[in-house]
Amino acid sequence: MRLLEGFAGILQTDGYEAYGAVAQAKGLIHAGCYAHARRRFEDARKAQADPSRDGQSRIALDLIGQLYRIEREIKTAAADERLRVRQSESAPIVTELRAWLDKMADAVLPQSTLGKAVFYMLGQWSKLLPFLDHPQIPLDTNRVENAIRPFCIGRKNWLFSQTTAGATASARLYSLVESAKANGIEPHAYLSRLFAELPKATSADHFESLLPWNIDNATVSARTT
C-alpha cells in the first residue's frame, strides 16, 4: 500500500491474494499472469502416470501456447496494431479457453492436480482479460520474476543478516541495479555515477534527476570511462 501511494494505472502481479486487495482499494486495473496459470497445467501433465491420458492438460497448454505465439509475432508492433491483433486473434482463443475451463470445472476433482490448475485459472480469470484491452500489458510477469531471481536464489545466504537497516539498504541497492538494467544502463557504471553525484544533491529535483530513467546512458558511460 505504501509503495503504490499516489499511483494510478495498471498493476500486474502473480496470484498472491493480497495484491487483489491493494488493487481494489486503490482502484487499479489488475492484470494477472498467464505463465503462473500455465505452470499448473504443465504440472498436471507431468503428474499423469499414463502420458496417453494427459490430453486435457494439453488442451489448456495448446491454447495458452497460441496466445504466446501471437505475442511473439506482434512483439515489435506499434501499440494500436498489438491491440488490433489481440482483439481479433487472441480474444477468440481466450473465449475458447474459458469455455473449456467451465466444462472441466464440472468434470474434474477439485483437489486433483488438473482440478487445482483449472480452479486456479478460473479464480484468476478477471485478471487474465485486461491484456486484451491494454496493449502495454504483457501476458505474464516473467520480466520481474527474472529480475528478482538472483536475490531469491541468494536469500538463504542472507537469513542471518543482523539488522533490519542492512536489509533495507540491500533492498534499495537491488532496486537501483534492476532499474538501471530495465533502462538500458550498465549497473556498475550507473552506481559509480550515482555515488559520485549523491553528495552534491541538495534538492528533491536533484535527487530525481539521478534516478535511472532520468540519466542518459551515454552520459553515464562518459563519466565512468
Distances in Å between the alpha carbon of 208 and those of 18, 58, 151?
Answer: 30, 49, 26
Q: Among 13-22, 83-92, 209-218, whose mean pLDDT is lowest? A: 209-218
Phi, psi of 31 (to 5 degrees): -105, 145
Closest CA to 64 of 33, 103, 87, 88: 33
Alpha helix ranges (H) inside 11-127: 17-26, 34-47, 55-73, 79-85, 91-105, 113-123
> What mean pLDDT is reported for the chain?
90
Do 100 and 59 form a contact (C-beta atoms < 8 A)? yes
**How does residue 129 score in pLDDT terms, banded at 50, 70 and 90?**
very high
Residue-wise pLDDT tens digits, 107-119: 999 999 999 999 9
Residues 36-43 have a mean pLDDT of 95
Q: Which residues contact 183 (CB under 8 A, 6 or more apart)?
A: 212, 213, 215, 217
Question: What is the pLDDT at residue 125?
Answer: 97
Residues 20-39 have a mean pLDDT of 95
Taking the alpha carbons of 137, 139, 143, 149 in that order, is the dihedral positive or negative? positive
**CA–CA distance, 3 with 68 (Å, rounded to integer):** 31
**CA–CA distance, 160 with 110 (Å, rounded to integer):** 40
> Residue holding cell 536469500?
155
**CA–CA distance, 170 with 162 (Å, rounded to integer):** 12
- Percent residues over pLDDT 90 in the chain: 71
> Residue holding cell 500455465?
38
Residues 29-49 have a mean pLDDT of 92
Q: Which residues contact 13 (CB under 8 A, 6 or more apart)?
A: 19, 23, 30, 31, 32, 33, 127, 141
The overall longest dimension of the chain from CA atoms, in Å, is 68
Residue-wise pLDDT tens digits, 138-183: 999 998 888 888 777 777 766 766 788 887 888 888 889 999 998 9
| Residue 54, pLDDT above cutoff 80 | no
| Residue 97, pLDDT above cutoff 60 | yes
Do 141 and 13 form a contact (C-beta atoms < 8 A)? yes
Residue-wise pLDDT tens digits, 168-222: 888 888 889 999 998 999 999 999 999 999 999 999 999 999 999 998 765 666 5
Q: Which residues contact 190 (CB under 8 A, 6 or more apart)?
A: 176, 180, 212, 215, 220
Report DSSP letters for 171-204, one per residue: HHHHHHHHHHHHTT--HHHHHHHHHHHGGG--SH
| Residue 29, pLDDT above cutoff 80 | yes
